[in-house]
């Protein structure tokens, strides 16, 4: 499973990229706001750090305006994936942009039927939001499983990009279900290394090592 990092923080992206933990980046208007930077400027910088896809989201609501914004975003760098919402206008924009050879990430997916429509419109990525479904007492992981089954049944090339990842369990379960990609904030990705038994074992090792009175350096 590929790891995308969900942020517009270039330093966080650079750190994870240097460790080989980043296969791509996803951004959205909220993350651009948090960065405090111009969308075109920061997106171009991110595209220069990572070699994989960088999702940059349109903010228009009509198909023609989405297409125009998508073309402008796609011109930033060859690895831009234009991000459009899963609305009827978004699907129209997806069809046009993919037909022009651009990568398109269809976002804000909350049902298997929506994912089916996105695949038929030629989406490169579909982004089901796991955590937001969990927030309303639905199992977001069930949606990942449903989409995986549908896409496999009919040979769709659209990649499942699991989004709104909140926990380490989300990551492991998505990998077992067969999501192609997951995107999560830097803190969630770094948190995957944590386990209480690792901490406990390391603490015991250090106590025992101190008793030996030895040094390696």
Query: What CATH number corresponds to the domain at position 50?
Result: 3.20.20.70
Structural domain contains residue 58: yes
Does the predicted TM-score (pTM) go above 0.85? yes
Which residues, in sequence order, are CB contacts of 16 under 8 Å at separation 6+?
5, 22, 186, 189, 190
Structural domain contains residue 82: yes
Structural domain of 63: 2-212
Closest to 8 measured CA to CA, from 38, 35, 33, 48: 35
Q: How many domains does the chain have?
A: 1
For the stretch 100-133, pLDDT in tens is 999 999 999 999 999 999 999 999 999 999 999 9
For the stretch 59-72, pLDDT in tens is 999 999 999 999 99
Torsion of CA 70, 7, 169, 117, to 10 degrees: -10
Structural domain contains residue 93: yes
In this structure, are residues 130 and 96 in contact, taking their beta carbons and an 8 Å threshold?
no
Structural domain contains residue 13: yes
Structural domain contains residue 217: no
Structural domain contains residue 112: yes
Residues carrying an active site annotation: 83
Structural domain contains residue 80: yes
Percent of the chain with pLDDT over 90: 99
In this structure, are residues 22 and 3 in contact, taking their beta carbons and an 8 Å threshold?
yes
């Amino acid at each position: 499973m590929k790891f995308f990092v969900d942020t517009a923080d270039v330093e966080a992206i650079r750190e994870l990229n240097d460790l080989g933990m980043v296969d791509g980046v996803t951004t959205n208007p909220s993350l651009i706001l948090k960065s405090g930077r111009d969308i075109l400027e920061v997106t171009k910088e991110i595209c220069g750090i990572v070699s994989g896809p960088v999702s940059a989201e349109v903010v228009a609501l009509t198909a023609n305006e989405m297409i125009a914004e998508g073309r402008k975003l796609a011109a930033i760098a060859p690895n831009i994936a234009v991000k459009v919402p899963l609305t009827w206008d978004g699907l129209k924009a997806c069809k046009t942009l993919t037909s022009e050879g651009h990568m398109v990430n269809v976002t804000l997916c909350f049902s298997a039927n929506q994912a089916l429509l996105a695949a038929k419109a030629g989406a490169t990525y579909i982004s089901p939001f796991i955590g937001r479904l969990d927030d309303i007492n639905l199992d977001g992981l069930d949606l990942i499983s449903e989409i995986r089954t549908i896409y496999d049944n009919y040979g769709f090339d659209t990649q499942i990009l699991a989004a709104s990842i909140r926990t380490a369990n989300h990551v492991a379960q998505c990998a077992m279900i067969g999501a192609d990609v997951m995107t999560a904030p830097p803190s969630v990705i770094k948190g995957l290394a944590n386990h209480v038994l690792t901490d406990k074992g390391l603490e015991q090792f250090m106590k025992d090592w101190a008793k030996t009175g030895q040094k390696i350096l």
